[in-house]
Amino acid sequence: MRILFMGTPEFAVASLRRLAEDGYEICGVFTQPDKPKNRGMKLTFSPVKEYALTRGFSVFQPLKMRDGTALELVRELAPELIVVAAYGKILPQEILDVPKYGSINVHSSLLPRYRGAAPINWAILNGETETGVSIMYMAQALDAGDVIRAVKTPIDPDENAQELTARLAELGAQALCETIGELAAGTAARTPQDEARQTYAPMLSRELSPIDWGRGSLAIHNQVRGLIPWPCATAELEGKTFKIFRTAAGNAASAAPGTILSAGKAGIEVACGDGRSLYLTELQAEGGKRMSAADYLRGHPIKV
């Protein structure tokens, strides 16, 4: 089958790699335009572009999808199927309708739950114990197309968003290739989404970072896990702002929320609003390196 792939971040690379390894003809790869990064503002390739170039695939980076240029390009490429995985652009219906087998999307949630830009993060932030991937037909409404296949997986209580993303990328790649086989055979399912059950997963922002110690210890633990690798949860300790990368369950605590109860090999123990404490076990001080809390404390004692 002749496939046009559209994707941008690391999550999408797993699907493109699997399509290539399974021998599908990749007629082109669409990805977001190169963006300036870091202090030097050097233009950097997306992870999908980096991988596509190693395989010799033709890479296209249209700035707009609705001015007719992208549509003409898609028609010239003549794909039998368009596969989208975290591309980051909304496709007009004229493009979706070009391929013989339609256009399908790899989405990292169990639709209709967590439509939108950050489904993995919000599943963790909200304390979900299960998530998955959905392969769906694309529609004009955001992530609202009919579902072809959904695969579930549990979320480990200590798994962060970056770790879960890597797992779901591989799960999605496997489900994608199984789905394409069904499309070719004419046996693919088509299940409309239940609009009454839909929830939204908006883009993340730094406003989500500051930890409110008045919240429960589990909610804060989920905040830390859900905001990895960006924007990261942050906490003020002795007047300094720290990024918090890992936490661990603590003990019963009667002190006021935000009180530092202990600081040692186990980490920095802080009282939370539910009468429990939470250990900060991995952190990064302003201008410093990411390290274990125990290592930080060796050179920077914190008053209990």
Q: How far apart (Å, rounded) are the C-alpha atoms in residues 105 and 83?
A: 6
**Mean pLDDT for the chain overall:** 96
Q: Are 25 and 1 in contact (CB under 8 A)?
A: yes
User: Would you state the pLDDT for residue 303?
Assistant: 87
Q: Please report, rounded to a whole number, the percentage of residues in the chain having pLDDT higher than 70.
A: 99
User: Would you state the pLDDT for residue 35?
Assistant: 86
Q: CB within 8 A of 46, min separation 6: which ones?
A: 8, 9, 31, 32, 34
User: Would you state the pLDDT for residue 95?
Assistant: 97
User: Would you state the pLDDT for residue 126?
Assistant: 98
pLDDT in tens, 176-221: 999 999 999 999 999 999 999 999 999 999 999 999 999 999 999 9
For 203, counting Cβ atoms within 10 Å of its Cβ (0-12 exposed, 13-18 middle, 19+ buried), the class is exposed
Q: What are phi and psi of 201, to 5 degrees?
A: -120, 90
User: Would you state the pLDDT for residue 304?
Assistant: 87
User: Would you state the pLDDT for residue 40?
Assistant: 66
Show the domains of the chain with their CATH numbers. 2-201 (3.40.50.170), 206-299 (3.10.25.10)
- Cα dihedral 91/96/99/105 (nearest 10): 70
This prediction's pTM:
0.95
Per-residue pLDDT of the chain (304 residues; tens, 9 = 90+): 999 999 999 999 999 999 999 999 999 999 999 988 776 668 899 999 999 999 999 999 999 999 999 999 999 999 999 999 999 999 999 999 999 999 999 999 999 999 999 999 999 999 999 999 999 999 988 999 999 999 999 999 999 999 999 999 999 999 999 999 999 999 999 999 999 999 999 999 999 999 999 999 999 999 999 999 999 999 999 899 999 999 999 999 999 999 999 999 999 999 999 999 999 999 999 999 999 999 999 999 998 8
